[in-house]
Structure formats: C-alpha cells, structure tokens
Amino acid sequence: IEPSDLERGAYEYVLNFAEAGAMHDGPAVGRLVESLVLTPEKARAMGVAEPMNAAWWIGMKIDDLEVFEKVKTGEYAAFSIQGVADALEVA
C-alpha cells in the first residue's frame, strides 16, 4: 500500500469510526486513544528509523472488561478496528 493511501485510510478511520470490536462481531468494545501514520518522510523529520514503506500505530482503550481479559489471556488473538473499506479492482 502506498504511504498516501495508508494516510488517507487512517485519517478516515480516525475521523469517522475510531472504535474497536470483539472478533469482528457485535457492538464496539473499545475506543481509539492514539494514532500515528509513520511515513519515511515523517520518520526522517523526527530523526527515527524509516519504515520500509509506511506504518500505522494505534492505541485502543478496551472498555469491556470481559473482552479485555480475553485479549490478555490470548483467547482473542485477532483485533477488529470496526472500519469499512471499498475493494477496487486494479487492472
């Protein structure tokens, strides 16, 4: 994915969704508390190691204690950010 596409998608998510789900099912169980899209240009400006392409770091606060316990024990090994996307065919 191109850095500009990652940035656009991350910003759209932060502005319009910003929730966490439990295994892609049911209502939101958590909220976004931090987000950073790190592009090579941003990394150079901050004086940190450049990612190969781009990276997206998020932090979530899981409000549902039962779900959070399942995350901590490893019962939930996946993570849902409750976002949506449109698939486009690339020729």
Which token pair is 87? 């698939």
- The residue whose two tokens read 């090579």 is 40
* Sequence-separated (6 or more) residues with CB below 8 Å from residue 26: none
Tens digits of residue pLDDT in 19-32 = 998 887 789 999 99
**pTM for the complete prediction?**
0.77
Mean of pLDDT values over 36-57:
92
Residue 83 has pLDDT above 80, yes or no: no
Parallel, antiparallel or unpaired: strands 25-38 and 55-62 = antiparallel
Tens digits of residue pLDDT in 6-20 = 999 999 999 999 999
Q: What residues does 22 pair with on adjacent strands?
A: 25
Confidence of residue 87 (pLDDT cuts 50, 70, 90): confident
Tens digits of residue pLDDT in 31-42 = 999 999 999 999
> Contact, 72 vs 49, CB < 8 A?
no
